[in-house]
Amino acid sequence: MEVSLDISKITEAKRIRQIRLGAAPVTLEEFVAVARFGAKVSFSQEYLEQVTRSRQLAEKFLTENRKVYGLTTGFGDNVRKIIPQEQAVELQVNILRSHSVSVGEPLKKECVRAIWLMQLLSLGKGYSGIRPETLSLIAECLNNDVTPYVPQDGSVQYLAIEGQINLILMGEGRAWHNGRLMSGAEALAEIGQKPWTPAPKEGLCLTNGANAATGVSALALYDNLIAAQTADIAAAMAFEAFRGTILACDERLHSLKKHPEQANCAANIRTMLSDSAIMKKYIHAKVQDAYILRCIPQMHGASKRFIKDCAANILEEMASCSDNPVLFPEDGDGTALMGANFDSTFASGSADILCMAAANLAKFSERRTDRLTNRYLNQAYPAFLAERPGVDNCYMIVQYTAAALVGEIRSLSAPATADSVPTCANWEDPVSMGWWAARKSLMVAKKLHYVLGIELMAMTRAFDLLQKEEEGFASATKAVHDKIREVVPPVEKDRYFGPDIESTAALVSDGTIIETAEEIAGTLAL
């Protein structure tokens, strides 16, 4: 079944209350609904049947004592060791315990939930040999808001992270429930569940695959898509705030570049500004604007192409089985195929590219903020947009914040997947470093939301000042201005601006800025 992205539904995640896992791929907004907004998970009958068939095959292989990695052999370099059947369960318990060695501060709740959901998707394909009741226990934890305590540092791809998450299923480790941190056994008891003992192969299933990197990369993808569409809205406001010439977005100009994302960005800005009297007034007021306006379609468009390419990789990985080995049914029997579907490079390499896309959007946004607050460049606005320059600093230091965030984004944009440190007695000789790639891509996306929030805050202030001289803002940009003014009051003098940044960035992150503009302009193209 084809996996695709529907950008028109990107802001629906916060309204989805339940998803049902079955044959159809989970959409990105459904995935985020569970991971970030607490939507419930259930299984279709088809899902349960395919998992059951796979488990029956695992039991058959075990009874026949077939040589199958992780079922009748040890793990990693210990693959040479054949495990007696009486130690098969102990082997699975030991992999969860021995792999739970990540360190540092705990992973955020949405990331833990994203990883568990990815395990339900991958292991539920019916090729892993896991029991339905094991997946149901994970779903119970998700649906009852149990969140394992998972130190986030020190994993090359997935092992330590997924070990820590699933340790709680055995009643070990720690987890949050109802706002309290408690033992895994206590958390299970509070939701009416008992500690679980892994059956043969299940410990391997739950510490294997690209699920950790893919789950967190999916969250980063969603945040980058939100940012990319929001960036076009901020850019439209910038055209009015700087009284630029909209000819830089002329359809004829962009028809000569064969990049649809560039043309779509220009079309988004034209659509949002279609009823702007300011744009009509200044269309021929200058020969051309500085790059910060003139290059928006090209720069935003390129970033969007990067994001779209990454979306294809991540969504395909979300719809895949990334386990090893996979148990493949054949003519009433079956075979165990040992390979490397656990590798996360499709998702984590895309996470690295998402960082570059975000860095390009961030640097353009920050430059627009700087130009707007810089009295030497901002076309007669007061210094730092202050009502009383000198006694008031207004957005002087707010721009510093944007500049610092861009610097942090640039530092985090060095590719993680280009690196490798061999592990497991060199049995795992190249490793993806996918976990760090995924983590930093989510960090970068969240910083980008702040950068865009700062720009929108500054543009809103500029609109307040500009309306003293000009009339006829576009309906879409004026609606965004008004929405921001619902949470950020007008600036009359210096105040504590930190909460203003947080409030505006929140409107970016939850898609409110996009929904406000699209209510008037229609769905923005990607």
Q: List the catalytic residues.
A: 69
**What is the C-alpha end-to-end distance of the chain, expressed in Å?**
23
Residue with tokens 């010439």: 245
Q: 171 near 188, Cβ under 8 Å?
A: yes
Beta strands in 71-116 (DSSP E): 103-106
Q: List residues bridging with 335 in a β-sheet.
A: 328
Q: Which two tokens stand for residue 237?
A: 């406001």
Is the bond preceding residue 325 a cis peptide, omega within 30 degrees? yes
Task: Please state, as a whole number, how many other Cβ atoms lie within 10 Å of the Cβ of residue 345.
Answer: 20
Is the bond preceding residue 430 a cis peptide, omega within 30 degrees? no
Q: 171 near 185, Cβ under 8 Å?
A: yes
Q: In 329-433, which ranges are continuous DSSP H helix?
A: 345-373, 396-412
Q: 402 near 384, Cβ under 8 Å?
A: no
Give the separation between CA 41 and CA 143, rounded to whole angstroms: 7
Q: List residues bridging with 42 in a β-sheet.
A: 20
Give the separation between CA 336 and CA 60, rounded to whole angstroms: 11
Task: Name the DSSP letter for residue 83.
Answer: P
Instruction: Tell me how far CA of residue 403 lies from CA of 239, 363, 369, 390, 397, in angstroms.
Output: 21, 8, 9, 22, 10
Q: Which two tokens stand for residue 205?
A: 């299933």
Residue 128: CA atoms inside 13 Å, Cβ hemisphere, count? Answer: 31
Length of the chain in residues, anyone? 526
Q: Which amino acid is at 116?
A: W
Q: 305 near 265, Cβ under 8 Å?
A: no
Give burial (CB, 10 Å; 0-12/13-18/19+) of 471. Answer: exposed
Give the separation between CA 235 and CA 455, rounded to whole angstroms: 9
Q: Which two tokens stand for residue 411?
A: 């530092």
Secondary element (H or E) of residue 334: strand 333-337
